[in-house]
Amino acid sequence: MTCSACRAALSARLDGEPSHTSAEETGAGRHLAGCADCRDWLAVAQRLRELARSAPGPSPEWTRSLLAGVLGLEAPPVDRCG
């Protein structure tokens, strides 16, 4: 298995894609055991995914500041009464 094929299989697994086969899994695992580059790549990929998961999502305030700052528009006040 090549590095790129291994990383594609690992990436799919990180994304939770069910499409990979067990053969790919085994091949990726075997490749990882012998390839420090891909182990480093996997560590970085997992860290990035954790950061993306823990990042705060857009809030009404964030949206307003984006509109005001980027578009130069004043967004309507946030309706907190729903």
Residues in contact with Zn ion by CB under 5 A are 3, 35, 37-38
CB-based contact 30:51 (threshold 8 Å): no
Task: Indicate the residue among 36 and 71 with the shorter CB distance to Zn ion.
Answer: 36
Closer of 45 and 75 to Zn ion (Cβ): 45
Least separation in angstroms between residue 9's CB and Zn ion is: 11
Q: DSSP characters for the chain?
A: --HHHHHHHHHHHHTT-TTS-HHHHHHHHHHHHH-HHHHHHHHHHHHHHHHHHHSPPP-HHHHHHHIIIII---PPPP-TT-
> Minimum Å distance from CB 32 to Zn ion?
7
Q: Which is nearer to Zn ion, 9 or 35 (CB)?
A: 35
Q: Least separation, in Å, of the C-beta of 17 and Zn ion?
A: 20
